[in-house]
Amino acid sequence: MFQSLTERTQSVPWNKGKLCGQKRPLKLQEVWSIRFRLELDKRTRDLAMFNLAIDSKLRACDLMALRVADIAQGKRVQPRARIIQRKTGRPVQFEITEQTRIAVEEWIAKAHLGPPDFLFPSRVLKTSHLSRRQYGRIVNQWVSEIGLDPSQYGTHSLRRTKASLIYRKTKNLRAVQLLLGHTSLESTVRYLGIDEEDALELAEKIEI
């Protein structure tokens, strides 16, 4: 029998109170494995995209919308950049390490990109950038190539990777919040799954 409208509106959603669809961050060895494969295959665009995704910790929509002028002055990629996040409308600053700067500069030169151009332009529409769906397929390819299950990883895996490593090393939650551009510490705690991980780490140190 069909549920009445009242019954349907009163039923509790299966995912209420849960953080759904959270993808695993990459481990350091996995980052190195993907980077090595991209370098070996001379996939200039993908190497630039992967390195910048790890460094910037940006959401897919913000990463794909980057223009050359957002991160570079002339032909030189800057060590730091600041953008306005589409989701929150708030600014966020991120670092660009030397190896990422080199990879991105090589891509800009190879693709003949200028300051107003999208950093990762669409191959179909040159006036647009890669879509989040296209980026997602690229990420799935990267993780599959090193033997990982693509259903467990996604674009947010790259956003979470460096943030997770920074938290593990420093336990500085406020710093991670700023780097991710979150509006609250609670969002950062939920995003990183810190409560569960920290509880398990403490439990593992206790022997009875």
- Span 86-143, pLDDT tens digits: 888 888 889 999 999 999 999 999 999 999 999 999 988 767 999 999 999 999 999 9
And the tokens for 75? 């032909």
Q: Which domain range does residue 129 map to? A: 28-204
Alpha-carbon span 18 to 21, nearest angstrom: 9
Residue 181 contacts residue 187 (beta carbons within 8 Å): no
The closest alpha carbon to 105, from 54, 71, 145, belongs to: 71
Coil, strand or helix at 77: strand
Q: Which amino acid is at 135?
A: Y
Alpha-carbon span 75 to 102, nearest angstrom: 11
* Whole-number pLDDT of residue 202: 53
Number of domains, the chain: 1
Q: Which residues of the chain have pLDDT under 70?
A: 1-21, 126, 194-208
* Whole-number pLDDT of residue 190: 73
* Whole-number pLDDT of residue 23: 83
* Whole-number pLDDT of residue 194: 61
Q: Which amino acid is at 102?
A: I
Q: Within a domain: residue 107? A: yes
* Whole-number pLDDT of residue 181: 79
Residues forming a β-bridge with 30: none
Alpha-carbon span 178 to 165, nearest angstrom: 15
Q: Within a domain: residue 156? A: yes
φ and ψ at 177, to 5 degrees?
Answer: -60, -45
- The CATH number assigned to the domain holding 42 equals 1.10.443.10
Q: Within a domain: residue 4? A: no
How many secondary structure helices (H) and strands (E) does the chain include? 11, 4
Residue 69 contacts residue 116 (beta carbons within 8 Å): yes
* Whole-number pLDDT of residue 207: 62
The closest alpha carbon to 111, from 32, 61, 33, 47, belongs to: 47
Q: Within a domain: residue 158? A: yes
Residue 56 contacts residue 39 (beta carbons within 8 Å): no
* Whole-number pLDDT of residue 46: 98
H-helix or E-strand spanning residue 160 = helix 155-170
* Whole-number pLDDT of residue 7: 40
Q: Within a domain: residue 86? A: yes
* Whole-number pLDDT of residue 198: 62
pTM of the model: 0.78
Coil, strand or helix at 120: coil
